[in-house]
Amino acid sequence: IDKVPEDVLGICRRLRENGKRGWIVGGCVRDLLRGAPAKDWDVATDARPEEVMRMFRKVIPTGLQHGTVTVLLRGVHYEVTTLRGEGAYSDGRRPDKVEFVDDISADLARRDFTVNAIALDPVDGHVIDPFGGARDLEARVVRAVGDPRERFGEDGLRILRAARFSATMEFSIDPDTERAMSEPRSHVTFRRVSAERVRDEWLKSMRARRPSVAFEAMRRTGILEITCPELLEGVGCAQNKWHAYDVWGHVMACLDASEPAPLLRVAALLHDIAKPRTRELSDKTGDYTFHDHEKLGAEMAMEILGRLRFSNEERDRIGALVRHHLLCYDEGWTDAAVRRWIRRVTPDLAPDLYALALADVRGKGRDATGEVASIERLRERATGLLAAGTALGTKDLAIRGNELMKELGIPPGPVVGEILGALVEVVTDDPAENERGRLLAAARRLYEERKQQT
């Protein structure tokens, strides 16, 4: 209770001075009691929104119809919400109407899990815990408030929240609760959850130490089949002798081995998305299908991310990571090959590519010392070559298109671009060529060759 910020205490005191009460509720109480840092401090009150508005100087009417007023103190936002009752959920997303109540227990009863249904009055330290949330925190269990079947029938997002909480808090899911999460009736409501909210829960799950816990729960309960059936193609899909797991098990291990950056972990989740489909082909023809695997994988990943309403920028970036992850190894490449690789993947993507490739090999469940060394070698060489000045495009050439045209007497047209492109290849092979006089000479040669060909 001494961890409750002074301003939150102040809000509850002010409510009391006005004959009302204020309790902190939800995630902050849960985190306070389990000794984790609380994110946002939510206050519940028996005062009506208009009354709350009158009690504080800086307020924002955030969602008056839902009873929420944001109180601003020293630049920090605090949501103060009037106690609400249960209400019916006919659309599986939102209660039909909001009904204000005076009883804190009634407000707690509409909440999703026991550990999220504890209220604490910071003024006198009084805890209201009608559903045994403190006991479940102690036992590290996610358990629905009341009848789990009803609760998941009301709001399908709760299934995904349970999966997420089990990963982020490293709690188990109570068996009755998990059974209800797996029922067809709950899946009907889950299908109505918007893609944006599913995406947000995925991203929050990625912050867990082991996100696989959330994705395994999604798989077991059947909701992953609804959101992303492609991922399940990897279940039972055997891999070559370098892997200890099937594709699904490998992807889960890779997810946990990845750095905790959410987008990188989404890339880890999707990096082998095409593998089950290209598996058979690559067994037959070997390396040549790497290309198909990468291409199809990037396409499938982008399609899935589009479905989940990831931004175009995020889709492109994750798509590129999936596209290029298979070649992120130094297998005795020449410097020119390493430079071509940097040009293709771009220096901006490279750090995430090394990170993804490392997670990939660490997720094989076998000794991967050699592969780790090979990735690190590529990283060191690429970093060094980049620092020494690797031309990434025509803009890095020591000569411009208009100079070429003037010096060589080339008329405007696509030829100029072609020659510049060829010069980039020349300086990629040998950076010493990136000097005005040498480039002009090379351009002259290229232009003559071209004229002879046509």
Chain positions contacting ligand ATP, by CB under 6 A:
26-27, 39, 42, 111-112, 116-117, 155, 157-158
Closer to ligand ATP at the Cβ: 27 or 85? 27
408: Cβ–Cβ under 8 A, 6 or more apart, which residues? 440, 443, 444, 447
Closer to ligand ATP at the Cβ: 100 or 290? 100
Q: How far apart are CA 402 and CA 419, in angstroms?
A: 12
Binding mask 17-46 for Mg ion (x = CB under 5 A): ----------x------------x------
The binder of 395, among ligand ATP, Mg ion, none, by C-beta within 5 to 8 A per type, is none
| Radius of gyration, CA atoms only, the chain | 29
The binder of 397, among ligand ATP, Mg ion, none, by C-beta within 5 to 8 A per type, is none
To the nearest whole angstrom, how small is the minimum distance from the Cβ of residue 41 to Mg ion? 9
To the nearest whole angstrom, how small is the minimum distance from the Cβ of residue 58 to ligand ATP? 22
Closer to Mg ion at the Cβ: 201 or 371? 201
To the nearest whole angstrom, how small is the minimum distance from the Cβ of residue 228 to ligand ATP? 21
The binder of 112, among Mg ion, ligand ATP, none, by C-beta within 5 to 8 A per type, is ligand ATP
- One-letter amino acid of 44: A
CA distances from 231 to 132, 301, 346 (A): 36, 10, 28
Closer to Mg ion at the Cβ: 163 or 305? 163
To the nearest whole angstrom, how small is the minimum distance from the Cβ of residue 248 to ligand ATP? 27
The 8-class DSSP code of residue 364 comes to T
The binder of 155, among Mg ion, ligand ATP, none, by C-beta within 5 to 8 A per type, is ligand ATP
To the nearest whole angstrom, how small is the minimum distance from the Cβ of residue 59 to ligand ATP? 20
How many residues bind Mg ion (CB under 5 A)? The answer is 2
Largest CA distance in the chain: 94
Closer to Mg ion at the Cβ: 66 or 185? 66
- Kindly report the length of the chain: 454
Q: How far apart are CA 119 and CA 107, in angstroms?
A: 10
Q: Coil, helix or strand for 336?
A: helix
Closer to ligand ATP at the Cβ: 162 or 391? 162
321: Cβ–Cβ under 8 A, 6 or more apart, which residues? 264, 267, 271, 349, 352, 353, 356
List of long-range contacts for 220-229, beta carbons under 8 Å, 24+ apart: 220/178, 220/182, 221/159, 221/163, 221/178, 221/181, 221/182, 222/182, 222/187, 223/159, 223/160, 223/163, 223/181, 223/187, 223/190, 226/187, 226/190, 226/191, 227/198, 227/308, 228/304
Closer to Mg ion at the Cβ: 133 or 431? 133
Q: How far apart are CA 362 and CA 172, in angstroms?
A: 26
To the nearest whole angstrom, how small is the minimum distance from the Cβ of residue 306 to Mg ion? 28
User: What is the bridge-based pairing of β-strands 76-82 and 42-45?
Assistant: parallel
Structure tokens at 370: 């050699």
The binder of 265, among Mg ion, ligand ATP, none, by C-beta within 5 to 8 A per type, is none
Closer to Mg ion at the Cβ: 207 or 400? 207
At residue 179, φ and ψ (nearest 5 deg) are: -60, -45
Query: Residue with CB nearest Mg ion?
Result: 27
- Answer yes or no whether residue 401 interacts with Mg ion by CB under 5 A: no
Pick the closest to residue 445 from 414, 428, 413, 422 (CA basis): 422
Pick the closest to residue 327 from 312, 343, 313, 348 (CA basis): 343
The binder of 129, among Mg ion, ligand ATP, none, by C-beta within 5 to 8 A per type, is none
The binder of 256, among ligand ATP, Mg ion, none, by C-beta within 5 to 8 A per type, is none
Closer to Mg ion at the Cβ: 31 or 433? 31
Closer to ligand ATP at the Cβ: 112 or 330? 112
Residues 105-164 that bind Mg ion (CB under 5 A): none
To the nearest whole angstrom, how small is the minimum distance from the Cβ of residue 150 to ligand ATP? 12
To the nearest whole angstrom, how small is the minimum distance from the Cβ of residue 112 to ligand ATP? 4
At residue 439, φ and ψ (nearest 5 deg) are: -65, -40
To the nearest whole angstrom, how small is the minimum distance from the Cβ of residue 108 to Mg ion? 15
To the nearest whole angstrom, how small is the minimum distance from the Cβ of residue 359 to ligand ATP? 25
Query: Residue with CB nearest ligand ATP?
Result: 27
Q: How far apart are CA 304 and CA 207, in angstroms?
A: 20
Task: Tell me which residues touch Mg ion (CB under 5 A).
Answer: 27, 40
